[in-house]
Amino acid sequence: MIDVLAMARLAEAADGVASLDEATRLAVRNRPDTVQVWGDVRGFGLLIGEELSLLAMPHERGTGLGRRLLLQAPAEARLAWSHGDHPAARALAASHGWGRARELWVMRRPTSAPLPARIAAPEGVDVRGFRPGDEGEVLRVNAAAFAHHPEQGSLSLEGLQERMAEPWFSADGLITAWDADTGRLLAFHWTKQHDAAHGEVYVVGVDPAAQGRGLGKLVTLAGLEHLGALGVDEVVLYVEGDNTPARSLYEGLGFTHSPSDTHVQYERSAPAH
């Protein structure tokens, strides 16, 4: 069996962008029985459910390997991500009946840029870090906030626990805002420190019933302050390209986006064979 995670790490070192997303890496590591893999040390195809990943090692690109791996994909493959809007991926998708379905923007902000003044929590709202026992409320708000999001909204307790078991998890970095009277979670900002220089706005979720109270900006600023205090140089986030309200919020906080910093999801519109 080829070591797809080791191959992905080598490709990332060469490309400067991850070849597999976090959910795929966790599935390969923790639930290999859910993963179909084909290929060899030159490159591989990988299928989880209906989502396809293809990787040609850097020295094998331009040889037609990507096409051969795509043609070996099982019939249930329907979705595929290009982590970076690569011309070769666009051409391969177009020539085999895969259409552009979604854009996921990477936005970046240097921590050297000053933050807006922190917002005071509204009366009756308590802001604190995650505590054991908060899991149910985090999942409830996450499901409600991302009800129409195909990946984030389906987060389960198992998936939450997997992420909390990762070396980067910090309870202080999962910032929560609570209704002091009812004990219900209103909003949260889960931050992630990748390394000494890079942090991430991992997830910001607001209960739809608590929208309009400024809680999204409240917890986002609190999380950015937390990451800045850790000494990172840059904070990144991922946002749907068509989510104008979220993009406006982040732009107002100093985040910017370069067109090349775009991940593209393709959807099969015709058989690949």
Q: For 157-196, what is each residue's pLDDT tens digit?
A: 999 999 999 999 999 999 999 999 999 999 999 999 999 9
- Scanning 76-156, the segments in alpha helix (DSSP H) are 87-95, 135-145
- Residues 102-125: what's their mean pLDDT? 93
Work out the number of other CB atoms within 10 angstroms of the CB of residue 62: 9
In tens, the pLDDT along 39-60 reads 999 999 999 999 999 999 999 9
Question: Between the CA atoms of 160, 163, 164 and 166, what dihedral angle is there, to the nearest 10 degrees?
Answer: 160
Question: Tell me, what's the pLDDT at 270?
Answer: 56
The answer to whether 77 and 35 have CB atoms below 8 angstroms apart is: no
What are the beta bridge partners of residue 55? 44
- Topology annotation, domain 113-232: Aminopeptidase (3.40.630)
What pLDDT is attached to residue 271? 53
The mean pLDDT of the chain is 94
How do residues 126-146 score in pLDDT, each as one tens digit? 999 999 999 999 999 999 999
204: left (phi over 0), alpha (psi -120 to 50) or beta: beta
- Residues 55 and 7 sit within 8 Å (Cβ to Cβ): yes
Q: Give the closest residue to 174 by CA, choosing from 136, 213, 227.
A: 227
pLDDT tens digits, one per residue of 212-240: 999 999 999 999 999 999 999 999 999 99
239 and 253 Cβ atoms separated by less than 8 Å: no
CA torsion 256→260→261→267, rounded to 10°? 130
Q: Do domains 4-105+262-268 and 113-232 have the same CATH topology?
A: yes
Domain 4-105+262-268 class in CATH: alpha beta
Name the residue ranges covered by the structural domains of the chain.
4-105+262-268, 113-232
